[in-house]
Structures are given as C-alpha cells and as structure tokens.
Chain A
Amino acid sequence: MAAAGDEYDPTPSEDELESHLQTRNMVVNLGPSHPATHGTVRLKIELDGETIVKMDTEIGFLHRGFQKSCENVTWTQVLPYTDRLDYVASLQNNFGYLAAVENLMGVVIPERAQYIRVIGSELHRIASHLTTAGALSLELGGFGAFLYAIEARELIIDRVTELSGARLTTSYGRIGGLNRDVPEGWTDKVLKSLIKIEELAGEVEGLMTRNRIFTDRTRGTGIITKEDALDFGFTGPCLRACGVSYDVRKAKPYWVYDKLDFEVPVGVNGDNYDRYYLRVLEIAQSMKMIRQAIAQMPQGPVMVDDWRIALPPKENVYNSIEGVIAHFKLVMEGVPVPPGEAYHATESPNGELGWYLRSDGSGRPYKIHVRAPGFQILSGLGRMCEGRMLADLIPTFDTINMIGGEVEQ
C-alpha cells in the first residue's frame, strides 16, 4: 500500500492481485407464489454468483388430502377428485383411475368405450403438451407461440366440453365404461379440429424449434443423465429424452393401444431441448392415433351390461323392482369391488400414472395410492439444477411440467 503523501501508483502490487476476494453465497427464495413457478412450489436456492450451489424443493402448498378424501367416499365418488390431480389433462386421470378399478375387479369394458377412452386421452395429451411448449416459450420471452398453443388447446377443450359437459373438471367415464356415448357428429368435429390443431401446432413449432434464442436457452441446459433419471424415477418425456424407450402404452398395452400403429420418440441428450422436442413429436403421434381410433371405432354399447356395476336404464328403474333395487344398491352402497389389491398404470402426458388400490370389500376404497409422475420428477429437480446457472432453472422447471395438483395431491 502507498503511504500517505506518496504519488498514487495505479499498478496493483503482486500480493494484491493474488489475494482472496471475500465472497459469500447468497440464498434466494423462489416461490411459492411466483409467476415462473406454475404451481405452488418453493425453491430455496443457494447461489454462488449466478451458479446454483444447492437447491431445496419444498412442496405441499396445494395439498388437499386426496388420499384421505378418497378413503371416505364410494369408488365412484372418487372420480371428481381425480379431475383435480392433473388439471391440464383431466380425462387421463379419470380413465387411469377407472382402468385401475376395472383391473382390480377383473371387468373388461366394451370395445367402443375403449376406443373413446383412447381418443379422449390422446386429445388431452395434445392439450397438455401444447400447454407445456407454449408456457416454455412464454417464459423465455416469446409470447406469440403461447397464444397459438392456447388457441389449439381451446379447440381441444371445446371438444372435451361437448363430450363431458365441463371444460376442465370432466368426471367423464364410470366404472365399467362410460356414462354416455359421444354426441352425434362429434368424431367428425374432432377430425376437423385436428386439421386446425395441426396447423396451430405447426406455428408453435415453427416459432420455437429453430429459433436461435430458444435453442441457445434450452440446448445443453437442465441435463440429467440416464442413470440419474432412472434412479430418481423419471418417466414419460423426461425419461425418454435421456434415451430410454419406456412407454406404458408399449410396455404393457391397455385398452386398444396394441391395435394402433404408433411410435415412441426417444431423445439423446436429456436436456431441455430434447424434452421440448419430444413433446412436439408426441403431438404428431397422438394425432395419428386419434385418426386411427376414429376410423376403427366400432358401434355398440359403451357400458358393461351388469347392473351391479352400471346404473340400470331409467325405464327399468321406474317400471321394474329389479331396476329399483339395482339402482338403490348402486347409489347407496357403491360398486362392489371385491377385497384385494392391485397396481395398474397408464401413460399420462408426464409419465407413468400408477394406481395402487386396496379394497376391503366395504364399498369404499381402503387405500388409494397415486403414483404421480411429477412427484418423482420434481424430487430430481435439485440434481438437474445444481452446478448450473440460475437462469436455466426457469426452462428446466417448465420442461419437467410439474403439475401442482398431482404432485401435492
């Protein structure tokens, strides 16, 4: 150091250059109510400059006691609760739950109902993937793609409204099939909408896939290795982006998926870009599946012909004693699910949606375990972000598509 009175020397001395600059890590709190965290999740992030040193994910702000509620209602009354799990793709949850109950009971539903379930599920898969892609663009600064995506999603929601009577909380389908057939001319409307959706999805893709700003922000960010992804229990697009071809629709086909011709796209790098692009490819596969399903769909009943499971027709309820008794028993006691346990899984937009059901024969579920895909994926978010930049957290959080409803139950 220069002594007082000396002339100022701008060249720093050797030990001044080499000396350790005193810095300290900063703790940043993101959420639980933050525009970039869709869903109420709180991330406690320890930062060294802009690099994330440690991250702690805190969830549970949207916990509604799903399992406890289900254990105290009849098997059919669980259905409205399942709408609220993944509220972007509620038909997937409805049908997934019903398929699990039917698996436990050993009931096979009519073929037409199976086709309608496939069409409904795939429609909602497109809606969910479009929302994810659009929101990802929105968060990286592109508002246009989001508007196109939401316009396409609105078309799907319109078709779902015609099917079930509700925009989001569908509660469509019953144990043993569907509560009602599709409305007249609905399949033609779906086919017409698909043309428009294809066009809009093309716009979204055109705005994003080769966009320099978008690729710079997503390529090579949020990488997770194949081993870690398996270890944390990733499924769906997040696992397939790492190069693991696991899809429940292929691994253990349910309904009529084995009769449809479709491919499962697989990624390479396991980064944000792969997760986004897989969703784009899956939208095209889902459209292909819907068109095939509509072409193959047979005529016939949509509900099993068994009054212990399905509500009897109204003329029988009003005019015959058997009808009245069947109706009364079904409404008061619920569907008789025999005692036992079973695990069944379906492929929801985010991955394997599994249900472990346990019945004690009382007419109410003894235990319902939901294997929400987002729960396992979110537990690996810390691993995906530690050692990376804070700004990359936002696209990573988006591409894993965490849905508060299913993660926090």
Chain B
Amino acid sequence: MSTFALDQIQAQIPQAIVERYTDRAGDAWAVIAREHIVEVAKLVKDRLGFRLFISMDAVDRLHLEPHEQDPRFEVLYFLRNIERNEQLRLKVRVNEDQQIPSIMKVYQGAEWGERFVWDFYGVTFDGGLKRRVLMYEEFVGHPLRKDYPLRGRQNLIPERPIKDIFRGPGTNGVQD
C-alpha cells in the first residue's frame, strides 16, 4: 500500500501526526492531532489531490482494553485520490468534552458525516452544525455510545406545528 499522502503530511506538517500504524489488512493509518485536522484536510485536498470524500464515522472506545480507552472517541475520515488510486485513512481522538474543528468548509460531504457523528456519538464539531441527521431532534442521548442501554423506550413527542416547517414558528416561510 502506498503511503505517499502520509509521508507528505509528515514532511509538511510534522506536528500534526500523533501516530502512524498499519492495520490488519496492511493499510496505513495516521492519528492526527485534533487542532491540525483542518490544516491537514486543506493540504491533502488542494495540494495532494485527495478530492473524493469517502465517508466519516466514529468509534466509542469505552469497552476496549484499558490502555485504549483514553481519549474515549475516535473519529474516522476516509478520503481518496482517484488519479493516484490511493485511499487515505485518518483518525482524530477526542474526549467527550473536547471539540474537533469542522472540515465542512473543506469537504462539503463532511456535513452529513459530522452531523451523523454528533447524532450517534455526541462528539461536537467547532464550526459545524449541531443538528441530528437520522434521529429526531427531541431524541435524548446518543445511541451508538457503548453505555447507551439496549432496552427501553423514550417518551412520545408531540407533533410539530405546521408553521415549524422551515424556519421555526411564526414566519410561515415568508422572507422579509
């Protein structure tokens, strides 16, 4: 597997890379320092040609081995360079009370990814939208966290008034 992109990141922003390793399938990964993720995203997109946004997700490490539990969350980024045929796998590790700078301005496709991560893990993004994507707004908790109970019910919610449809109550969609 080619490690062109990771070598370039290491050469150009050496302080961004916390750790590099190879996974079971032989693919290269890098753990990026939280504060450098936007810088790295800009570098790989504009200068290294990783223009295809593949996807985003997170992992809750609460039930892993003790030495792997801190920080609690791992946010994953998958990017692709079509010309070089290379996939880039990045990770950012955060705790519950920390924010990750949003890369929504760099990759538009990250908007829903970041909303998904907020929705299901409760990881917040600085400069991103704090809006759920699959669950409804009134839902309490973040269901993919390992400590979220498997059984139980949440209260039914009242139907939203029709005026709420676009911009909240009152305006009924009228532009001023």
Contact = CB atoms under 8 A, between A and B. Distances in A.
Nearest to B119: A60
Interface string A334-345: 000010111110
Interface in B138-152: 143-144, 148, 150
Contacts of B143: 65, 68
A244 to B, nearest CB: 6
A239 B173 CA distance: 34
A65 B154 CA distance: 15
Given A67-B144, A376-B109, A379-B109, A233 B53 contact: yes
A34 B51 CA distance: 35
B136 A60 contact: yes
A343 B150 contact: no
A231 B85 contact: no
> How would you classify the secondary structure of chain A's contact residues: helix, strand, loop or mixed?
mixed
Q: Contact size class for B?
A: 35 or more
Nearest to B85: A251
Interface in A2-56: 24-27, 29, 44, 46, 56
B25 interface: yes
Contacts of B107: 231, 233
Please classify the interface of chain B as helix (H, G, I), strand (E, B), loop, or mixed, using the class held by over half of its residues. Answer: loop
Contacts of B166: 27, 44, 46, 56
Contacts of A25: 173-175
A310 B109 CA distance: 40
A185 interface: no
Contacts of B135: 60, 63
B55 interface: yes
A97 interface: no
Contacts of B64: 360, 366
Interface string A90-115: 00000000000001101000000000
Contact of A344 (B25, B54, B57): B25
A233 B80 CA distance: 10
Given A103-B25, A228-B108, 16 more contacts: A27-B172, A46-B166, A60-B134, A233-B107, A246-B52, A338-B24, A342-B25, A343-B87, A344-B25, A354-B54, A367-B59, A371-B55, A375-B55, A376-B53, A380-B109, A408-B134
Interface residues of A, number: 54
Given A60-B135, A60-B136, A246-B82, A232 B54 contact: no
Nearest 9 CB-CB pairings of A with B = A27-B173, A340-B24, A233-B109, A60-B134, A342-B25, A233-B53, A371-B55, A369-B57, A379-B112
A379 B65 CA distance: 36
A231 B25 CA distance: 27
